[in-house]
Chains A and B, each alone.
Chain A
Amino acid sequence: MEKTNLQNESFISNESGFAAEESSVANAAFSGEDNSKYLNKKGEDIRLKSVSYSKYGYIFIAPFFLAFIIFQLYPIIYSLAISLTDLSYATDFAGTSQFIAFENYAFIFHHAAFWSSLVNTILIWSINFVPQLVAAYLFAAIFSSAMFKIKGTGAFKVIYYLPNIITATSVALLFKQMGEKSGILWDTMKSVGLINDAWSFGTANPINARVYIAFIQFWRYFGYTMITLVAGMLGINPTYYEAATIDGAGRVKMFFSITIPLLKPITLYTLVTSLVGGLQMFEIPFLMYDGKPTAHNGSLTTFTVACYIYNLAFPSNGEYHYGRAGAASGYLFIISAILSFITFKFFGKEAFGIDKPDKEKKKKLKTAKGV
């Protein structure tokens, strides 16, 4: 870090040397004047204060919001708008589509495949998230604990996070091959005697395929959750633990009454991002089990909401139903909006660092400035 600082210092000095000519013009205007009349009570130069830099705030964030409005907001609004029309492969983008109000929403609402895809998504997500959180907490506790000295903690963290970076499509294909009959996983499980010849990870069995996908999701994300929790645990002020030790609290009690409550915001952040991410689960089920309702004799055990929307918008038979897909997106939007609202309403401040100016905080700020 010291090295970087040195570099930066040289940067700054170069900078001032380079800009000397320009600034000398400005300095000339000030020269020969009594500078003290430009100082306010606190001794700050009011000429500096009087220049408003707020326009730069808008300029600096403008590219982000421009791209955001074009590439993210417009698509969402468009999807929601066409959900009220009969836009499809027949009416096309040509403009013959009609406003049909909430017919698409009614269609989706009465479409059994939508509900089963929603149930599947939530089921697969839950089977994955509960063990994921427990395992992440367990390992985060081990890695940040003073009680146990595990060697190579850094290496373990790197290994646990590794699955998260592997391309989802590769992961899907890899696990598909391993789980097939005569695949290495199937073979090994059979030779150990866990399964028999008839057993399969396929969608025919309502449990196997879901658990298999949930396991893959667990495998991909538990390292991420664990590292987030470790960071949170290391951020807890050690004085809490010292005080608790003096009060005679045991290690286990401290974990449940100090660590877990203080990690509530991070846990909730993980929960919401994981749930919203889970609602979008696409690649793994889509590639492993074709992600088509017709792919396995009408069995829909791994058909997720994202697969459902994709199949309405871009089905292989070419019967594109953009309006209906938009309505399905609308439902997804409502669910996500409710989730986001709950998060911001109850945990916004802690989980996202949005300041709600409360009295206590202002007091703190004042005292801080006074010092």
Chain B
Amino acid sequence: MEDIMAVNNERISAQNAPMPDDVKKIRKSFPIWNVILTVLCILTAIMCLLPLYVMFINASKSTTQIQTTVGMNAFVPGAEFINNLKGVFAIEDFPIIRSFFNSLWLAGASTVLCVYFSMLTAFGFVAYEFKGKKFLYTVVLVAMIVPTQLGMIGWYRLIAVILGLTNTYAGLIIPSVAAPTTVFFLKQYLETTYSKEIIEAARIDGSQEFMTFNRIVIPLSIPAMATMAIFSFVYSWNNYMGPLMIIDDTNKYTFPLLVQILKANPKFQDLALIYTSLLLITLPLLIVYLAFSKYIVGGVAIGGVKE
């Protein structure tokens, strides 16, 4: 990842270094453009953040305050956050802490399976020559595009009726082994970094292929795998339709299903509690994102950069 960023940075500086005359001219004569574009960027950033800001400030107000404050006053934070927090934890049949751990387990296990097996598949495609390779890779690419919801009923039958995995996470975790998009991105990455010499050196030293993969290929690919891990984690964390179909035990609810309780439960007309719950549900993702934003923003680029 840092490699790619470094390359990108070099490219940027390469573009900047011999500054053409017209660029200099434009910079001199139109500093106003910089101001206009900066303002545009800031306004767009506000648009992106405003709904989240609203969530934060409304979580710090009482329901009456949320309903009565209008105009610019509505954007000023209140002082009821602790009370709201106590309120959320006091609600019956709203297992927010349990759901957090459910989501964490579901997303964590899915991520490990998804990234490990996608890496294995990508390495299989990059490092070995075998019959039907091109066809099988085309299958991966097609699988990437075909909507998963096509198999909604078949998937439900498989998990709930054939395998009897209703109210378990196995039916949601094991399918993560096959993640076409992750395979695609990791293969793109491996193609630029894979070195045949290292693999052959390992072979000469007597390393088995799996050992080579686990001890050499994986450590070398940590940056790309980290990026894909974050994507996979966010995807599993946000998965709604899967759990919706096979989980109906409230104690097994994940965060996205919990939001459904918020919406459906008539007891739950307390706006302050809705916003506070939403904040608690969103916060773990926000923390993960801000901690790893460098990997995420760079990671979207892995698949995009083409020579």
- Does B266 count as interface, using CB distance less than 8 angstroms? no
Q: Report yes or no: B152 in contact with A231, Cβ–Cβ below 8 A.
A: no
Q: Report yes or no: B8 in contact with A234, Cβ–Cβ below 8 A.
A: yes
A339 to B144, CA, bound (A): 13
- Does A367 count as interface, using CB distance less than 8 angstroms? no
A168 to B281, CA, bound (A): 12
Interface residues in A167-214 by Cβ distance below 8 A to B read: 167-178, 182, 184, 187-188, 191
Q: Which residues of chain B have C-beta atoms less than 8 A from A7's C-beta? A: 219
A159 to B289, CA, bound (A): 10
Q: Which residues of chain A have C-beta atoms less than 8 A from B3's C-beta? A: 1
Chain A, interface size category, equals: 35 or more
**Which of B117, B152, B306 is within 8 Å of A67, CB to CB?**
B117
- Does A370 count as interface, using CB distance less than 8 angstroms? no
Residues A339 and B259 in contact in the complex (CB < 8 Å), given A63-B121, A160-B45, A187-B71 = no
**Which of B70, B74, B290, B297 is within 8 Å of A157, CB to CB?**
B297
Q: Report yes or no: B216 in contact with A11, Cβ–Cβ below 8 A.
A: yes
* Binary interface encoding of chain A residues 154-169 relative to chain B, with 1 for a CB under 8 A from any of its CBs, else 0: 1011111111011111
Interface centre among A7, A93, A167, A279 (most CB of B within 10 A): A167
**Which of A61, A187, A322, A337 is within 8 Å of B153, CB to CB?**
A322
Q: Report yes or no: B38 in contact with A150, Cβ–Cβ below 8 A.
A: yes
Interface residues in B218-273 by Cβ distance below 8 A to A read: 219-220, 222-223, 234, 237-238, 240-241, 245, 255-256, 259-260, 262-263, 271
Q: Report yes or no: A142 in contact with B128, Cβ–Cβ below 8 A.
A: no
A72 to B143, CA, bound (A): 8
* Binary interface encoding of chain A residues 37-77 relative to chain B, with 1 for a CB under 8 A from any of its CBs, else 0: 00000000000100001111111110111111011101111
Q: Report yes or no: B306 in contact with A75, Cβ–Cβ below 8 A.
A: no
Nearest-CB residue, chain A, relative to B149: A280
Q: Report yes or no: B153 in contact with A82, Cβ–Cβ below 8 A.
A: yes
A309 to B152, CA, bound (A): 9
Selected interface stretch from A97-105, A106-114, A126-134, A222-230? A222-230
A245 to B18, CA, bound (A): 12
Nearest-CB residue, chain B, relative to A238: B15
- Does A115 count as interface, using CB distance less than 8 angstroms? no
Residues A19 and B71 in contact in the complex (CB < 8 Å), given A78-B157, A276-B147, A280-B147 = no
Question: How many Å from the CB of B50 to the closest CB on chain A?
Answer: 9
Q: Report yes or no: B48 in contact with A1, Cβ–Cβ below 8 A.
A: no
Q: Report yes or no: B54 in contact with A178, Cβ–Cβ below 8 A.
A: yes
Q: Report yes or no: A228 in contact with B240, Cβ–Cβ below 8 A.
A: no
Q: Report yes or no: B120 in contact with A64, Cβ–Cβ below 8 A.
A: yes
The count of chain B contact residues (Cβ–Cβ below 8 Å) is: 130
Question: How many Å from the CB of A219 to the closest CB on chain B?
Answer: 7
- Does B296 count as interface, using CB distance less than 8 angstroms? yes
Q: Report yes or no: A74 in contact with B154, Cβ–Cβ below 8 A.
A: yes
Question: How many Å from the CB of B53 to the closest CB on chain A?
Answer: 10
Q: Report yes or no: B301 in contact with A227, Cβ–Cβ below 8 A.
A: yes
A336 to B150, CA, bound (A): 10
Question: How many Å from the CB of A226 to the closest CB on chain B?
Answer: 9
Q: Report yes or no: B245 in contact with A147, Cβ–Cβ below 8 A.
A: no
Question: How many Å from the CB of A188 to the closest CB on chain B?
Answer: 7
Nearest-CB residue, chain A, relative to B3: A1
Interface centre among B2, B11, B143, B178 (most CB of A within 10 A): B178
Q: Which residues of chain A have C-beta atoms less than 8 A from B37's C-beta? A: 142, 148, 150
Q: Which residues of chain B have C-beta atoms less than 8 A from A184's C-beta? A: 54, 58, 74-75
**Which of A4, A150, A159 is within 8 Å of B222, CB to CB?**
A4
* Binary interface encoding of chain B residues 264-305 relative to chain A, with 1 for a CB under 8 A from any of its CBs, else 0: 000000010011001001100110011001001100110111
- Does B90 count as interface, using CB distance less than 8 angstroms? no
A71 to B116, CA, bound (A): 18
A251 to B27, CA, bound (A): 13
Q: Which residues of chain B have C-beta atoms less than 8 A from A119's C-beta? A: none
Question: How many Å from the CB of A310 to the closest CB on chain B?
Answer: 7
Question: How many Å from the CB of B305 to the closest CB on chain A?
Answer: 4
Q: Report yes or no: B282 in contact with A8, Cβ–Cβ below 8 A.
A: no
Q: Report yes or no: B154 in contact with A77, Cβ–Cβ below 8 A.
A: yes
**Which of B14, B138, B157, B222 is within 8 Å of A238, CB to CB?**
B14
- Does A300 count as interface, using CB distance less than 8 angstroms? no
Q: Report yes or no: A63 in contact with B220, Cβ–Cβ below 8 A.
A: no
Q: Which residues of chain B have C-beta atoms less than 8 A from A19's C-beta? A: 205-207, 211
A272 to B301, CA, bound (A): 18
Q: Report yes or no: B130 in contact with A12, Cβ–Cβ below 8 A.
A: no
A350 to B49, CA, bound (A): 35
Q: Report yes or no: B216 in contact with A15, Cβ–Cβ below 8 A.
A: yes
Q: Which residues of chain B have C-beta atoms less than 8 A from A277's C-beta? A: 147
| Known pairs A23-B205, A245-B20 / 4 extra A-B pairs, C-beta < 8 Å | A23-B206, A150-B38, A165-B289, A283-B240
Nearest first, the 9 A-B pairs at minimum CB distance are A75-B151, A60-B124, A75-B154, A57-B128, A23-B206, A78-B154, A231-B301, A231-B304, A67-B177
* Residues of B near any A CB (own CB < 8 A): 2-3, 6, 8, 11-12, 14-16, 19-20, 22-23, 26-27, 33-34, 37-38, 41, 44-45, 47-49, 51-52, 54-55, 58, 67, 70-71, 74-75, 117-118, 120-121, 123-125, 127-131, 133-134, 136-143, 145-158, 161, 174-175, 177-178, 180, 183-184, 188, 198, 200-207, 209, 211, 213, 215-216, 219-220, 222-223, 234, 237-238, 240-241, 245, 255-256, 259-260, 262-263, 271, 274-275, 278, 281-282, 285-286, 289-290, 293, 296-297, 300-301, 303-307
23 intermolecular pairs with C-beta atoms under 8 Å apart: A1-B6, A15-B205, A16-B205, A56-B124, A59-B124, A74-B154, A78-B157, A79-B153, A146-B23, A162-B48, A162-B289, A165-B238, A168-B238, A173-B278, A174-B278, A177-B275, A228-B301, A228-B304, A231-B305, A235-B305, A326-B153, A340-B142, A354-B141
* Residues of A near any B CB (own CB < 8 A): 1, 4, 7-8, 11-12, 15-16, 19-20, 22-23, 26, 48, 53-61, 63-68, 70-72, 74-79, 82, 93, 135, 139, 142, 144, 146-151, 154, 156-163, 165-178, 182, 184, 187-188, 191, 219, 223-224, 227-232, 234-235, 238, 241, 245, 250-251, 265-266, 272-273, 276-277, 279-280, 282-283, 287, 306, 309-310, 313-314, 322, 325-326, 329, 332-333, 336-337, 339-340, 343-344, 350, 352-354
